[in-house]
Amino acid sequence: MAEWELNRPERLPLPQPDEEAEPFFAALLEEKLLLQRCANCGQLSHPPRMACAQCHSFDFEWSQVSGRGTVYSYAVTHQPIHPALVDHTPFATVQIELEEGPRMTSNLIDVPPDEIEIGMAVEVVFERVTDEVTLPLFKRA
Ligand code: ZN
């Protein structure tokens, strides 16, 4: 057995939230999907950022969103780009356009890559990976 197989991790590295992203990941633990909303102009944004892309304000609040959206785009990966993915190819990385506007990159849990369609209705599911990390994945709506 090759060395890399002996040292094969069971899963991909988990997110390490920075200061801006901490509220987003804390809400996921409670199975809530929050987006940053600019307190100055109301613009929703994702991923969390230091300043509003529209008006450059540093003032944000957090707004719970529906978790519903559609497939905006996707890419299918056939090569395992990480040892934890050896038994999981092909897989699709999907960009979801949330009904509130912002787009989120994720995976679909119940749709094989060759059945994904642009515009397909999807909704969030909360995947508890560890006691500290829950990830927002999506399923067919
Ligand atoms: Zn703004």
Give the Å distance between the CA of 24 and the centre of ligand 1: 18
Residue 4 has pLDDT above 60, yes or no: no
pLDDT tops 60 at residue 29: yes
How do residues 79-118 score in pLDDT, each as one tens digit? Answer: 988 888 888 899 999 999 999 999 999 999 999 999 999 9
Regarding predicted confidence, which is higher, 29 or 9?
29
Distance 125 CA to ligand 1 centre (A): 29
Ligand 1: distance of its center to the CA of 107 in Å? 29
45 within 8 A of 38, measured Cβ to Cβ: yes
Give the Å distance between the CA of 52 and the centre of ligand 1: 5
Is residue 23 predicted with pLDDT exceeding 90? yes
Share of the chain above pLDDT 70, in %: 94
